Amino acid sequence: MLKVVLLTAGIVAISIVLLCIKLIVLPKGKFISPHISNNKEMQKRGIHCVQSMDKIMRRDNPYKVKERI
């Protein structure tokens, strides 16, 4: 049981070190932003995050036909 716990802790520690190599080695190392709104290729294609797209789609249409009740 103790071997499994130590093995698991070792694997987790190695994983954390490997994920942080860029942060540790480079002086200005940082992770890229995972948000769609910060991605230049997505901006070129007109793709925004789901919340922004939903907000745009829910806007009132000034050209809609008014219905009588």
* C-alpha separations of 25 from 10, 11, 14, 29 in Å: 21, 21, 16, 7
pLDDT at site 5: 96
Mean pLDDT of 45-50: 82
Q: How far apart are the first and last CA of the chain?
A: 73
Quote the pTM value: 0.42
Interatomic CA distance for residues 61 and 51, integer angstroms? 18
- pLDDT over threshold 90, residue 6: yes
Higher per-residue pLDDT: 11 or 54: 11
pLDDT at site 18: 86
- pLDDT over threshold 90, residue 24: no
Q: Where are the domains of the chain?
A: 2-57
* Total length of the chain: 69
